Every structure is written in structure tokens, then in C-alpha cells.
């Protein structure tokens, strides 16, 4: 009886931790964007975290294939690697943005201002870029509790809930990973090299 009670209390603690992390992570990241550390060159990070996103997307697809083939052990390993990669991405992303000036899509002359010539040159691709960026950012916030609760349900061996939540978490997580790569590829020509 006490083991069951301890497990229930532990799981309740995990739920509180997930809710707290789901609220705290976006707030902390937003606050960190207000910090600017001068004199540190982390310009190598955008292609690094774009690669992390790409690898995450591929591994998530392999994780889905693994579970469809009933290879639970491989599925679990791949998901754990994806969780670690997502944390690594977040650390790289924040580190880059607190040490670098903002890069604007289409800012060819790097003056942090889009003039009429630059706007004409990029045309409607700016709308596509801004849509992808906005949806990437918003869904990266939304996906946090979905992924963490999905993982918790598997940990608790509540596989019915795990599958139900995974049907929401997985496509969002894959979308965030893939759009991270696309957004990077679109803005990379405007980085100062």
C-alpha cells in the first residue's frame, strides 16, 4: 500500500514539474532574450542548432517506425535521444540569441532595417518566412507539455494515454523540428559571415 502511495505522490510531483517547466521555459527564454552579452562570438551555433533540429526530426520518424514495428526498446531510446537533442537545441538557441544581434529576413546590407529595395527583392517569401517562424515558435511552446506528459504516461506504463497524447505530440514535435531547419535555411543568407 505504501509503495502505491509513494508512486502516486511521485507521479503527482512529476505532473507539477511538467506544468511548471511548461510555463517556466517560455518565460525564461523570453527573459533571456532581453540579455545581451557582448564580445562572445557564437556565430557557429545557428547551423549547429538547425542540424540538431534536422536530426531530431529524422529520429522522431524512426521512433514512430520503431513503435509501429513493435520495437519498444528502440522507440524508447530514440525518444530519449530526441529529448536530449531538444534540450541541447534550446541551450544553443538561447546562447546564440543572448550573444548576437538580431538578423532580419531580407536585410541584405545588415543595417537592421528593411528598405524598399530589400523588401521588393524578397517579395512574398517574407510572408512565408514569418508564418513559418511564428508557427515554429508558438508550437515549440505548445509542444513542451504534450511531449513531457506523453513521456510521463509511458513511464507510468499508461500506454493508452501515452498513445492518445502521442498522436498530438508527435506531429507537433516533428513540425517544430522540420520548420526549425527551414527557417534557418531561409534566413541563413542574411547572417553576417
Tens digit of pLDDT for each residue in 95-110? 999 998 889 999 999 8
CA dihedral 19, 85, 166, 141 (to 10 degrees): 40
Q: Which domain holds residue 58?
A: 2-190
Residue 2's pLDDT band (boundaries 50, 70, 90)?
Answer: low
Q: Residue 8 pLDDT > 80, yes or no? A: no
pLDDT digits 0-9 by tens, 51-95: 999 999 999 999 999 999 999 999 999 999 999 999 999 999 999
User: Among candidates 89, 99, 88, 82, which has minimal Cα distance to 36?
Assistant: 99
**Considering its fold, how many domains does the chain have in total?**
1
User: Among candidates 26, 58, 12, 57, which has minimal Cα distance to 145?
Assistant: 26
Q: What is the Cα 181 distance to its own chain's centre?
A: 11
pTM listed for this prediction:
0.89
Q: Residue 35 pLDDT > 80, yes or no? A: yes
> What's the CATH code of the domain at 66?
1.20.120
Residue 37 grid coordinates: 552579452
Q: Residue 3 pLDDT > 60, yes or no? A: no
Amino acid at each position: 500500500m505504501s509503495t502505491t502511495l509513494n508512486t502516486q505522490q511521485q507521479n503527482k510531483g512529476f505532473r507539477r514539474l511538467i506544468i511548471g517547466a511548461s510555463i517556466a521555459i517560455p518565460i525564461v527564454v523570453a527573459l533571456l532574450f532581453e540579455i545581451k552579452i557582448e564580445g562572445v562570438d557564437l556565430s557557429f551555433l545557428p547551423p549547429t542548432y538547425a542540424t540538431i533540429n534536422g536530426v531530431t526530426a529524422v529520429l522522431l520518424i524512426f521512433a514512430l517506425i520503431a513503435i509501429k514495428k513493435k520495437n519498444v526498446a528502440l522507440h524508447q531510446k530514440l525518444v530519449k535521444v530526441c529529448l536530449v537533442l531538444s534540450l541541447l537545441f534550446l541551450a544553443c538557441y538561447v546562447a546564440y540569441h543572448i550573444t548576437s544581434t538580431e538578423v532580419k529576413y531580407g536585410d541584405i546590407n545588415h543595417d537592421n532595417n528593411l528598405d524598399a529595395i530589400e523588401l521588393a527583392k524578397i517579395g512574398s517569401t517574407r510572408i512565408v518566412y514569418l508564418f513559418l517562424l511564428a508557427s515554429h515558435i508558438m508550437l515549440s511552446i505548445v509542444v513542451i507539455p504534450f511531449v513531457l506528459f506523453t513521456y510521463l504516461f509511458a513511464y507510468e506504463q499508461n500506454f493508452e494515454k501515452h498513445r492518445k497524447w502521442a498522436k498530438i505530440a508527435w506531429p507537433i514535435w516533428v513540425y517544430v523540428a522540420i520548420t526549425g531547419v527551414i527557417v534557418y535555411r531561409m534566413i541563413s543568407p542574411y547572417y553576417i559571415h
